[in-house]
Amino acid sequence: MNPRHIAIIMDGNGRWAKARNKDRTFGHLEGSKNVRRIALAANKMNIEALTLYAFSTENWARPKAEVSYLMKLPKIFLDEYLQELMENNVKIETIGHMEGLPKATIAVFDYAKKQTENNTGLILNFALNYGSKNEIVEAVNLALADGVTNITTTDIESRLMTHHLPAIDLCIRTSGEQRLSNFLLWQLAYSELYFTEAAWPDFDQSELEKAVAWYQGRQRRFGGL
């Protein structure tokens, strides 16, 4: 079976650019082009949701110029590809604290979400200004505010930003690092974790197919035998 929901930590843009004597921002631009390729490929494979770690709450610590470029990238991306994503029935969503982003960045996502809200193909879900520990704490506080006294896992799960999406079957991290970096810690409890040396700009359709084939070879026991 294909995974229903794939999450990706798109790592290695900076190193990819450096290896080509280019600025890190060039790597991010190539990375954003790859978002298009992988989203279209995932859509063709009938994957229901693709959650991409585009900007973490920790990424604010990067040099100002890089942060500023990463905030401009959604507009560059959506100006170029929204039409095509629309034609392919892709639905754009976000998780994370959007209100903490620059107004212009919020506006382009609001527009893209509105345009694609009735699409029924792949949900292309960008995690922006997202941090998982904080998301869990907020879910607990929401449950408390709702008057829940004996909080269960369901109480938390139903208040996570991903509550409406299928469980994540497969999480991919590119570029050789093997850690989760505060990404979907709760949601990845029973996900298969796939690590590849390929940098994100080089992670093409055949790499995605390789990851999915690897996933299909795993035996998922969810704690059972």
Q: Which residues bind ligand FPP (CB under 6 A)?
A: 10-15, 28, 31-32, 35, 54, 59, 70, 73-74, 77, 126, 175, 200
Q: How far apart are CB 138 and ligand FPP at their closest, in Å?
A: 22
What count of other Cβ atoms lies within 10 Å of the Cβ of residue 216?
A: 12
Query: Nearest approach, Cβ of 189 to ligand FPP (angstroms)?
Result: 24
Which one of 2, 59, 88, 182 is the catalytic residue? 59
Looking at beta carbons only, is 73 or 198 nearer to ligand FPP? 73
Catalytic-labelled residue, pool 11, 34, 119, 125: 11
Task: Give the side-chain half-sphere CA count within 13 A for 173.
Answer: 14
For the CB of residue 87, give the shortest distance to ligand FPP in the complex, in Å: 18
First to last CA, the chain: 20
Answer yes or no: are the C-beta atoms of 132 and 97 closer than 8 Å.
Answer: no
DSSP state of 167: P
CB of 147 to ligand FPP, least distance (A): 37
107 or 189: CB nearest ligand FPP:
107
110 annotated active-site: no
Residues 125, 7: Cα–Cα separation, whole Å: 9
Look up 204 and say whether it is catalytic: no
| Residue whose C-alpha is closest to residue 74's, from 43, 111, 32 | 32
Distance from C-alpha of 5 to C-alpha of 209, rounded to nearest angstrom: 14
| Nearer residue to ligand FPP within complex by CB, 159 or 162 | 162
Cα(195)–Cα(214) distance, rounded to whole angstroms? Answer: 11
Of the pair 116, 175, the CB lying nearest ligand FPP is at 175
CB nearer ligand FPP, residue 53 or residue 215: 53
Query: CA dihedral defined by 29, 33, 35, 40, rounded to 10 degrees?
Result: 170
Least gap, CB of 15 to ligand FPP (angstroms)? 3
Residue nearest to ligand FPP (CB): 14
CB within 8 Å of 27: residues ≥ 6 apart: 12, 13, 14, 15, 16, 17, 18, 199, 201
Active site residues: 11, 59
